[in-house]
Structure 1
């Protein structure tokens, strides 16, 4: 089924019961999760399950602090039949540019969304989804736990995890392999390891070997209202890896580099968790880093014709290389070595003061300039000359 507007139906109820909170006591039928990115807590969740109903709250800090209250209904086999969501600021006010509420109904091979917009209009959409799909909600590991319980109940050694977000055109199933109390999620070629107990409850998630480097810990409970208020008092985190563009005019050439800016967050950068050795790094975050030049360049002695490219970095204990790749417009996990134009040695130097957020700089000179990358305790650089 393609994405389609549904026939007009009666308007669904508004926000869920004024953001009701689940009990602070997380019993054996519920629990709580703390989600960290490096040293930063980026989300917390508390939920309770009573019979075939799961109710909970997720506090997300990025890009703005919001509390999402959800109610999920299950059939006797543990499959989701209906889910309701409503997001608010910690003070109860509406989140700017966000729907007031959303409802997803799962029937057969389809998911039906009803979204109440900030303008009090209702949008209804439908999409085809696989059996066993669970609602998609940012940093809700109670939802992933529901999916894992279904997979374990099937006793199959592998399966897929599908999450559907209200209004989406479909899902992107991710393969899951189960061995004992470990379930390994194939996250675009990298593993995310989920640990469960004998009952299938999610105990921990380790994404540090993937590009989604979160770490999730199950705890007895969290005080959602108190933490939400405390997070709001600290101010919004903004995007965890915001996009930026550095531009320069150098010797008659116009250059720009578009890239994502991840932060250190207490982690080891070079040769560590963020830029491991003997691997190609996307040189930023999220979408692949792009270079545009209006003129032919000699970068570190290698010819790079005018045009657009993606930039990657090969890191090794004995040095670093800038990889100029001919493929453009792709996500940062889609590196194709057969599209490499050239690999260019980079000069590494220590920084007097550490740089928390990854930064590109282009320093023009009369005949060209220098491209610099600064992050953590190190700078990588390479000179370039504009060809005449």
Structure 2
């Protein structure tokens, strides 16, 4: 019900907005049914000013001022944060600056108890990468269209290094931008490269961005100030002990957020990270048997291939990696999963280990679906 109310409120804010100056526009970023961020920005020939309300993990109010050089890259940038209690009407504090000096970018950060300065490399056309914020993508698409090439390598500043995002023209108003490790996002742009819609459904973030004429940022500030989303995919862990055996399970726990899960954001027939962020880690103090597969005592990572009628649980011998780093050559083995349904809905992806008469069972639970694999204790 909360998500429905927020959606109706956002729609009312859109409807209340009058037509705006042609250089001022806005983005709304949705993660499932949740509004993750709103951005209102204004461009000139040499700069962009953006007001951003980001709701994860806490609500944050930030204003960005970016001035670009003759290559379309960072000349200087400043980020100013404002207290949630006052929003943009309050007194802000500059928490980050980036200034080009020759072939380097000088970065100063003062947004925590550990102020720091560092140097990052400069490349022509470099832009900032701001997680879950998308106005830099607008500038990147603008520059790509102006370049008039089918493929453009777009450097983005991520921390103290540059990451290469590849922008490709597909056809008509369609372009893609490839995140170095999250995957490809599809975009619709106008003839100048202004971003109309961005779909990150094929990436690990799976968010969507839409352009709107304007936003009532004062109304949204009031609505969102004390209403954060929290962590997008918090870390979860559990310990179990039965039949003389100790088990631990550690996994990222994404939220449903009104989305279609298996067969939707988790495609059938493809290897799934089985959670979020860091790879799911499973350990056992005794040897186990999953059917004919022997799993010696130790630590493993779990991946899966969900299907509408079951699928496979993958037990992998590599540990310590991110969930996107799956190496099939390190598989200990694959075992069948049984799929069942439940009447109530589980919002947060959950993994449990249950005791059975014969041994135990690993359960992957999300929404109304349960995938499970049984094992014996050796």
TM range (shorter): 0.7 to 0.9
Is 2:214 aligned against 1:221?
yes
Q: Is the 8 A contact 2:273 2:323 kept in 1?
A: yes
Is 2:98 aligned against 1:104?
yes
Q: Distance in 1 between matches of 2:101 and 2:148?
A: 24
Q: Is the 8 A contact 1:371 1:381 kept in 2?
A: yes
Following superposition, the deviation at residue 118 of structure 1 comes to: 4.7
Q: Distance in 2 between matches of 1:185 and 1:332?
A: 21
Partner of 1:210: 203
Q: 1:354 aligns with which of 326, 345, 355?
A: 345
Q: Distance in 1 between matches of 2:145 and 2:101?
A: 22
Partner of 2:34: 40
Q: Is the 8 A contact 1:250 1:365 kept in 2?
A: no
Q: Is the 8 A contact 1:248 1:255 kept in 2?
A: yes
Partner of 2:154: 161
Q: Distance in 1 between matches of 2:364 and 2:372?
A: 6
Q: Is the 8 A contact 1:160 1:173 kept in 2?
A: yes
Segments of structure 1 that go 5 or more residues without pairing to the other structure are: 1-22
Aligned pairs for 1:126-137 (under 5 A) are: 126-137=119-130
* Segment drifting more, 241-250 vs 314-323: 314-323
Partner of 1:265: 257
RMSD: 2.3
Is 2:252 aligned against 1:241?
no
Alpha-carbon displacement from aligned partner over 1:294-340 (angstroms, at most 9, x marks no partner): 22111344211112111011122332211111122222222122221
SS at match of 1:279: coil
Q: Distance in 2 between matches of 1:275 and 1:161?
A: 29
What TM-score does the superposition give when structure 2 sets the normalisation length? 0.88
SS at match of 1:270: coil
Alpha-carbon displacement from aligned partner over 1:35-81 (angstroms, at most 9, x marks no partner): 00111110000001134221111111110011111111123443321
Alpha-carbon displacement from aligned partner over 1:74-119 (angstroms, at most 9, x marks no partner): 234433211100223321489xxxx951100134432110223455
Following superposition, the deviation at residue 189 of structure 1 comes to: 7.1
Is 2:52 aligned against 1:58?
yes
Aligned pairs for 1:1-388 (under 5 A) are: 26-92=20-86, 101-118=95-112, 123-165=116-158, 168-179=159-170, 180-187=172-179, 188=181, 190-233=183-226, 235-272=227-264, 274-365=265-356, 368-387=359-378
Following superposition, the deviation at residue 195 of structure 1 comes to: 1.4
SS at match of 1:48: strand
SS at match of 2:257: coil
Q: Distance in 2 between matches of 1:160 and 1:77?
A: 13
Segments of structure 2 that go 5 or more residues without pairing to the other structure are: 1-16
What TM-score does the superposition give when structure 1 sets the normalisation length? 0.85
State the number of aligned residues. Answer: 356
Alpha-carbon displacement from aligned partner over 1:112-146 (angstroms, at most 9, x marks no partner): 10223455x85321011432111222333221111
Q: Is the 8 A contact 1:87 1:101 kept in 2?
A: yes
- Specify whether residues 189 and 62 from structure 1 end up closer, same or farther in structure 2 by C-alpha distance, changes over 3 A only: closer
